[in-house]
Structure 1
Amino acid sequence: MRKLEGMKLHQGDGPNSYRVRIFLAEKDIEVPMVWVDFGKMEHRAPEFLELNSLGQIPVLEFDDGTVITESVAICRYFEALHPTPPLFGANAVEQGKVEMWNRRVEFEIFGTIGNVALHTQEFFKHRLTQFPAFAETQRELVPQKWAWLDREMADGRPFIAGDSFSVADITGMTVSWLGEVFGMPVPEGLPNVGPWHERVRARPSWNA
């Protein structure tokens, strides 16, 4: 375990904090963590808003006052600091494919499930005007999105972006977790996504 000092990670419940925790677990990195309690509205406290004006987690804060927000940006920092094992690709082609697939999973599946949560949950009422009917159309799309990924993985690759586990799989892991939280699990019977799902959930980092 590589223990890093001079920084702390503000995180808590939610897929983006989970994404960073999985990434750190895969890198075998440990950093000091501060739990942000949404129930106590700690993410809206003035001192937290000074770190991130959007009131969102995770936030990586350094002792010198430098702040990095956004989960993928935080992961990129740790990738640059400790490039082994490579989770953003080991060469130019792999890096391009990992970026492509990470974005695709975010836009096509994460975004769809996220829209259901944004437009139905009391927690998000302060962020936008909610349209529950729109949320239901998005909920209906979720199985189709997973079926799309299943077709894309029909070439036999074991992981979303290719032969190696990457941040695209970490995003997929957080998406599958989020879907279960809101009653939209990965559909059964998908011949390619199903085995992938079993593989990633068997990794020790799943429990991060």
Structure 2
Amino acid sequence: MSVRILALVGSLRAGSHNRQLAEAAVRHAPEGVEVIVFDGLAEVPFYNEDLDVVGQVPASATKLREAAASADAFLLFSPEYNGTMPAVLKNSIDWLSRPYGAGALSGKPVAVVGTAFGQYGGVWAQDDARKAAGIAGGVVLEDVKLSIPGSVTRFAELHPADDTEVVDGLVKTLASVAAKATPAAA
């Protein structure tokens, strides 16, 4: 039985290095681990309780919640925008935190990784994402971290999937997340 890890990428940019990092996680997932990158965060409206009404939840938010419900764990990829996580990633956490106490993140392992241009690789944003995911009910793996600095220069000509150090870090991260996950019955 495979452990399913849902990857949420906090950058919508076509050439996003964090998107490339998520692609590398898919490509190099260890045996028994399946990484699924969620497409569609750009279509999910900002969380609003007026929209979150049974029978009226926007289709894009329902799709996100269904993907999250079928996941055993989460891997959030966060760049750093103005010293914090991007709105699209925070918004996905907000949608997955509801209904209160029973959201799709509730009780499932969550790790946060990422890359950014700065010298610390986006650690402030990643710390904020960990905080939000934990408050939303996720079991944040505080000791599972991967922050890759200098993304613009490091990945100018090399895809993260071809960077040996990055791949090693991703494989270790995925193995740690998988070890904490309880696979759903098929």
TM-score by structure 2 length? 0.29
TM-score between the two structures when normalised by the length of structure 1 = 0.27
Structure having the higher strand fraction is: 2
